[in-house]
Amino acid sequence: MTKINYVLLFLIISTTACQFGKSKDVKDGDNNIPPVSLVVNDKAETRIDSTLKSVVQSGKIAGVSALIYENDKEVY
């Protein structure tokens, strides 16, 4: 893939991730709201790690880093 393709892929993933709304704060005793499941779980972290590692190992970029926040907490 060319560098522009990587940039476009990053932009698509970023804008898609930004479409998720913030979850509401759950008050003690409010059991009517179902728990929010996290998008970034162990399986997703493994996929992210392998994808970023393969891009670096291909030699097309020197390095990469990722920072993902979910529900106002750093999850990756």
Which pLDDT does position 13 carry in this prediction? 75
Indicate the SS3 state at residue 22.
coil
Structure tokens at 42: 């162990």
Instruction: Say if pTM beats, i.e. exceeds, 0.85.
Output: no
Residue pair 36/23 in contact by the 8 Å Cβ criterion:
yes
Q: What pLDDT, in 10s, does the model give residues 22-31?
A: 555 555 555 6
**Structure-token pair, residue 19:** 């479409």
Q: For residue range 11-68, what is the model confidence (pLDDT) as tens digits?
A: 677 766 665 555 555 555 556 666 666 788 888 889 889 888 988 899 888 888 888 8
Sorted by sequence, the CB contacts under 8 Å of residue 54 that are 6+ apart come out as none
The pLDDT score that the predictor gives to residue 19 is 58
Task: Inform me whether the pLDDT recorded for 5 exceeds 60.
Answer: yes
